[in-house]
Amino acid sequence: MQPTRRRLLTSAAALAAGSALPALPALAADPFPARPVTFVVPFPPGGPVDTTARFATQPLDKLWPQAAIIDNRAGAGGIVGAQAVAKARPDGYTYLFAAIHHTVLPSLRSDLTYDIQKDFVPVGMAATFPIFLVVHPSLPVNNVAELIAYAKANPGKLSFSSSGTGGGTHLAGELFNSMAGTDIMHVPYRGSAPAMADLLGGQVQVMFADGPSAVPHVQAGRIRALGVGYPERSRMMPDVPTIAESGVPGYEAYSWSGLVAPAGTPQEIVDKVNADMNQGLNDPAVAKRILDAGAEVSPGTPAEFGKFIDDEIRKWGEVIRKANITVE
What is the rounded CA–CA span in Å between residue 22 and residue 133? 65
What is the rounded CA–CA span in Å between residue 171 and residue 47? 19
What is the rounded CA–CA span in Å between residue 244 and residue 285? 30
Of all residues in the chain, what percent carry a pLDDT higher than 90? Answer: 88
pLDDT at position 6: 37
pLDDT at position 13: 40
pLDDT at position 4: 38
DSSP structural state of residue 181: T
Digit-coded pLDDT (tens) for 190-211? 989 999 999 999 999 999 999 9
Q: What's the pLDDT band for 327 if we cut at 50, 70, 90? A: confident
149 Cβ neighbours under 8 A, 6+ residues apart: 141
Handedness of CA 137, 141, 143, 144 (dihedral sign): negative
Mean pLDDT of 268-280: 98
Among 11-25, 146-160, 187-201, 294-308, the least confident range? 11-25
Assess whether pLDDT exceeds 80 at residue 88: yes
Digit-coded pLDDT (tens) for 59-85? 999 999 999 999 999 999 999 999 999
The answer to whether the pTM exceeds 0.95 is no
Strand, helix or coil for residue 217: helix
* CB contact at 8 A, 223 and 214: yes
What is the rounded CA–CA span in Å between residue 232 and residue 200? 27
Assess whether pLDDT exceeds 80 at residue 7: no
What is the rounded CA–CA span in Å between residue 63 and residue 82? 26
Q: What's the pLDDT band for 9 if we cut at 50, 70, 90? A: very low
Q: Set out the domains of the chain in order of their start, with CATH numbers.
A: 37-129+254-323 (3.40.190.150), 130-246 (3.40.190.10)
Digit-coded pLDDT (tens) for 109-142? 999 999 999 999 999 999 999 999 999 999 999 9
HEC sequence for 116-179: CCCCEEEEEEEEEEEEEEEECCCCCCCCHHHHHHHHHHCCCCCEEEECCCCCHHHHHHHHHHHH
pLDDT at position 17: 40
Residue bearing the bigger pLDDT, 97 or 190: 97
What is the rounded CA–CA span in Å between residue 44 and residue 275? 27
Q: What's the pLDDT band for 29 if we cut at 50, 70, 90? A: low
Handedness of CA 219, 171, 97, 92 (dihedral sign): positive
Average pLDDT of every residue of the chain: 91
Strand, helix or coil for residue 187: strand
Using DSSP bridges, classify how beta strands 37-41 and 159-162 pair: parallel, antiparallel or unpaired: unpaired
Digit-coded pLDDT (tens) for 140-184? 999 999 999 999 999 999 999 999 999 999 999 999 999 999 999
Digit-coded pLDDT (tens) for 204-238? 999 999 999 999 999 999 999 999 999 999 999 99
